[in-house]
Amino acid sequence: MSNTSSEIRYQVRDLIEYATALFAAAGCDGDKPAAIAAGLVEADLLGHTTHGLQLAPTYLGELESGGMIPRGEPEVVADRGATVTWDGRRLPGVWLTAKAVDLAVERAPTYGVATIVIRRSHHIGCLAAFLQRATDRGLMITIASSDPAVASVAPFGGRKAVFTPDPFAVGIPTDADPILIDISASITTNGMAGRLRREGKTFPGAWALDAAGAPTDDPNALFSDPPGSLLPLGGAEYGHKGFGLALMVEALTQGLSGFGRAEAPTQWGASVFVQVIDPTAFGGRDAFQHETGWLANACRDSPPVPGVDAVRVPGQRGLAHKKRALAEGVVLYPGIADALAPHATRLRVTPPRPIGA
C-alpha cells in the first residue's frame, strides 16, 4: 500500500483507544474492551482487512441485540493442567481467545504442550492476530475455529454446504521473524465472497459451486435461493484435501469442545481450539529455531517463477505492513470508518481524527 496524499491514515493508538471506548460504552467489563480493540486493530495492522475493525460494527450490533454477552468469565468445563475446556457463554470471542492463548502460553513450559478448547465462544476475529503472543516467547502455536451455526463450504463431491471455511493459523518462531500462517480449509472465505459481491467482482478462479453443483467464479452464487457453496481447498480437482482439513478443524473445535452442529445452534459464534507447544520440551529451543530459520531462508532463496519478484514466507508481508502502520499510521479499508460512525454517535464516543486532520 503506497502512502499517497489522498489516503486517510490513523495513528494505531488512536484506533485502539477508539475501539476500546466503543466496547466499554457498549457494556463490556474488565479487560474486555481493550482486548477486543487490540485484537481487531492487530488484524488491520497485519493487513487482514476483512477481519479487523470491519467486524467492530457487527460485534457492537451483537452486543446491542444480546447475541454477544458483555460481562463475566467463561465456565471451566474441565481442567487437567495440560488440557482445559471452557464454555465461552457467548462472551466476546476475541477476548476469550486472547485469554486462552495467554493461559496456554503460561502452561506450555510446564507440560510441553498445552491445549485449550472453547465451546460457545462468540466470533473470534482474525486468527493470525493472536499468534505473536506465543511466538514472541519462543513457542509454536496453532489456533483453529469453526462456527457450528453456519454452513457455507461443501464436502468434496457434494453441493450442499456442511462446513464453515474452518480457518486455522500456525505461528512458528524462528531465529529471526516468526512465520505466521493463516489459512482455511476452503479456497476462499465468506467475508471475501461478500466483499467481492458488494464490489461487483468475481473470484480469481472457480472457487465456488452454484446450487446445482457447477463450479463458478461468481460470488453471487453463495447468495442465491437455494444457495451455492464455497469449494474446499483443492476445488473440483483435488478438493478431498480441503475436505480432510475441514473435518480435522471441526473435530478439533466442535468435537473436543463437545458443542457443534449436532446441537443445531442458530446464533453466530465459534468453537475454538488453541494449542501451544514449547520446543524446549522436545529437541530444544535453539535446535527448533535453527531448523525453522534455516527453512524460512531456504524458501526466500528459492529463485522465483516468472512474474514473481521473490518468494515471501507467510507473515512476511503482514509483519512489514504492521511495521509501516506503526510508524506511519493505518489506512482503514474503505467503508469501515463510516460503518462505525453510527455506533460512535449512539454510544457517545468521539471518533479519532486522521493524521494531519
Q: In angstroms, rounded to a whole number, what is the distance separating the alpha carbons of residues 27 and 81?
A: 32
CB of 132 to its own copies, least distance (A): 16
CB of 18 to its own copies, least distance (A): 32
* Calculated CA dihedral for residues 322, 46, 234, 197, nearest 10 degrees: -120
Q: Which of 151, 160, 116 lies closest to 273, judged by CA?
A: 116
Q: In angstroms, rounded to a whole number, what is the distance separating the alpha carbons of residues 351 and 8?
A: 13
Q: In angstroms, rounded to a whole number, what is the distance separating the alpha carbons of residues 183 and 141?
A: 14
Place of cell 481447498: 233
Q: In angstroms, rounded to a whole number, what is the distance separating the alpha carbons of residues 169 and 34?
A: 22
Which residues, including other chains, have CB under 8 Å from residue 185's CB and lie 6 or more apart? 153, 163, 165, 166, 167, 168, 232, 233, 242, 243, 245, 246, 248, 249
Q: In angstroms, rounded to a whole number, what is the distance separating the alpha carbons of residues 221 and 282?
A: 48
Pick 191 or 244: Cβ nearer its own copies = 244
Pick 97 or 142: Cβ nearer its own copies = 142
CB of 254 to its own copies, least distance (A): 5
Pick 19 or 144: Cβ nearer its own copies = 144
Pick 9 or 195: Cβ nearer its own copies = 195
Q: Would the CA dihedral through 83, 86, 267, 34 be positive or negative?
A: negative
Pick 225 or 301: Cβ nearer its own copies = 301
CB of 297 to its own copies, least distance (A): 10
CB of 158 to its own copies, least distance (A): 3
Q: In angstroms, rounded to a whole number, what is the distance separating the alpha carbons of residues 146 and 134?
A: 21
Q: At what angle do helices 316-328 and 32-45 cross, to 10 degrees?
A: 110
CB of 213 to its own copies, least distance (A): 3
CB of 352 to its own copies, least distance (A): 33
Pick 123 or 261: Cβ nearer its own copies = 261
Q: In angstroms, rounded to a whole number, what is the distance separating the alpha carbons of residues 193 and 125?
A: 17
Pick 32 or 133: Cβ nearer its own copies = 133
Pick 223 or 294: Cβ nearer its own copies = 294
CB of 201 to its own copies, least distance (A): 16
